[in-house]
Structure formats: structure tokens, C-alpha cells
Amino acid sequence: LPEQEAFDIEYWLLEEAKLARMPRPKSLAGRVALVTGGAGGIGAATAERFLREGACVMLADIDEAALATAHDGLARSFGADVVRAVQMNVTDEAQVATAYAQMAVEFGGIDILVSNAGIASSAPVEETTLALWNRNMDILSTGYFLVSREAFRTFRAQDIGGSVIFVASKNGLAASPNASAYCTAKAAEIHLARCLALEGAEGGIRVNVVNPDAVLRGSRIWEGEWLDQRASTYGTDKGGLEEMYRQRSLLKRSVLPEDIAEGAYFFASDLSAKSTGNILNVDAGNVQAFTR
């Protein structure tokens, strides 16, 4: 190489090495997120993902003890100034309004809502009581409506747009045995997201959905009644269920809370600036989506 060219290349390589060592600006720096169900598996993993990208996060959950544990763990890792917690039942209008008021005081507003708080229940339709049906509708459909309505009110008042992410379920698209109340409530969440995407677009409010397939590890849903009922529906234990879901996925991989968090991060960040009303199935290519 001519001397000048060799010098230029060396100079360029040194500059590149310097750039690679420079800290990248965090993609959610300066943004504030509310994560409902933040004490649970997917919610806590999502909060952690956002905190790693520089966001401030308010965890909201009905379970006070689990909320304190999740909050303290994240505060130890990221600092108490960037993570807060509020006890809130998503079906309680007044508690939802109070949580948003607390966010305004502590973080000065909100940019991202992850509506994720949820339950799962399983029963054949003839054994589904009205109480069980209503519980699913209340927490999943009505709860998602209440937290996103409050987000819309705040986004409109702030006038800077925002991102709403619903953690729904692939069961909101595909029927699952002995879970009509849960599947129907999850389908309503998905359709609510579409309606809100239509309403929010003009004000720069994006609304998208992440649909997990079964996430057994880290989820408290898979520790109680739902686990027993699914185990009896499919005639196997927790390990057998995880293997069943893994085997029936196209990619033959188990879905983890961190995988759902990655989807939520995509919709929270500017990577998805041109996506609204969309559904991302994080299901390792679940076989129910295909005819085969």
C-alpha cells in the first residue's frame, strides 16, 4: 500500500476501536414506563429490560409482598431512583388513577405502558361459573381497558405521544382446551389494542400486542391452579408440559420471560416507531398458527 493509504487505514481502525469502546447511548434513556403485573415473571423481566436501556420504571401489582421483592431486587441492581413500586388492582378505577398520579409526582409523567397483569384459569365450559367468567373478564379485559384509558388521558395531556404494549396471549388468537373464559378475555384484549391503535394514531400513541405462548419458567401462573388444571387436561406434570410446548413449536425451543420482554422492548423503543396495531407472537413458531 502507498504510505498515505496505509496511514489512513491505520487511523480509521484506531478511530473505529475508540468508537467501539465508547458507551452507547441507552435507547430508553429519559423514558418512563409503567409495568402492570410487575412483580411477576414476564412483568419483572420486562422492567429489567427497560431499566437496562435507561428507562425509569414503576412496577404495579396487586401482590404487595411479591411487589416489594421485585422492587428491591431491581433497585439493588439499577438504583432506587429509577425504579418505584405501587400496589394497584387493575380492576379498581380509583387505584389505577392514583398510580398514574404517583407516577406524575415521582417521574413527571409516562411514556410507555406495559399492560401485563393477569391470571389464567382453566375449566370446561359446563363447569365455568359466572364468577370465574367475570374474574377473567374483570382482570384481563376490563383491567387492560382501565390502565390504557388512564394512559391515553395522560398521553393526551402531555401531548408527546406514547407507546402502549399489551401482553396478551396466543390463546387470544387460537382456542385452547378448557379455557374459554381466559381465551375470550385475551381475544378481547387483542381487539381492544386494535381499537386503541386506531384512536391513538393521530396523537402519536402507538398500541401493540405481544402474544406469549406458554412461559412456564419464572411465571407464577404456572405454580398454582392453572398448572394443576393444565396437567390434568394434558395428562402430564410441569416438566412434561414444558416439553410438550417445546416439541410442538416449530423452533423446538421453550419461551422464557426474557423473550417476551424483548418483544415488549421492541414496541417500547423507537425500533418500532412505525408499528401500531400490530401483534408479535413470541411462541417459537407455535403449531396452532399453522395448518399441518
Q: Which residues form the interface with ligand NAD (CB under 6 A)?
A: 36-37, 39-43, 61-63, 66, 88-91, 116-120, 139, 143, 167, 169, 212, 214-215, 219-221
**Nearer to ligand NAD by C-beta: 39 or 56?**
39
Task: Please identify which of the residues 144, 182, 245, 265 carries the catalytic annotation.
Answer: 182
The answer to whether 283 and 210 have CB atoms below 8 angstroms apart is no
**Nearer to ligand NAD by C-beta: 91 or 178?**
91
**Nearer to ligand NAD by C-beta: 52 or 220?**
220
State in angstroms the smallest separation of the CB of 21 from ligand NAD. Answer: 37
* Residues with Cβ within 8 Å of residue 128, at least 6 apart in sequence: 180, 181
Residue in 252, 260, 263 with CA at minimum distance from that of residue 285: 252
State in angstroms the smallest separation of the CB of 45 from ligand NAD. Answer: 8
The answer to whether 167 and 192 have CB atoms below 8 angstroms apart is no
**Nearer to ligand NAD by C-beta: 23 or 239?**
239
**CB-nearest residue to ligand NAD:** 40
State in angstroms the smallest separation of the CB of 55 from ligand NAD. Answer: 19
Residue-level length of the chain: 292
C-alpha dist (Å) from residue 148 to 59, 61, 217: 15, 15, 28
182 as an active site residue: the answer is yes
**Nearer to ligand NAD by C-beta: 81 or 223?**
223
β partners of residue 154? none
State in angstroms the smallest separation of the CB of 31 from ligand NAD. Answer: 21
**Nearer to ligand NAD by C-beta: 81 or 237?**
237
Which own/partner contact pairs does 228-236 have at CB distance under 8 Å and 24+ positions apart?
Answer: 229/121, 229/122, 229/123, 229/178, 230/122, 233/122, 233/177, 233/178
State in angstroms the smallest separation of the CB of 146 from ligand NAD. Answer: 10
State in angstroms the smallest separation of the CB of 144 from ligand NAD. Answer: 9
Burial readout 150-167 (b: 16 or more C-beta within 10 A, e: otherwise) = bbbebbeeeeebbbbbbb
d(CA 47, CA 70): 10
State the burial class of residue 127 (Cβ atoms within 10 Å of its Cβ: 0-12, 13-18, 19+): exposed
With the C-alpha atoms ordered 67, 72, 74, 80, is the resulting torsion angle positive or negative? Answer: positive
State the burial class of residue 109 (Cβ atoms within 10 Å of its Cβ: 0-12, 13-18, 19+): middle
| Cell numbers that stand for 236 in this block | 402430564
Residues catalogued as catalytic: 182
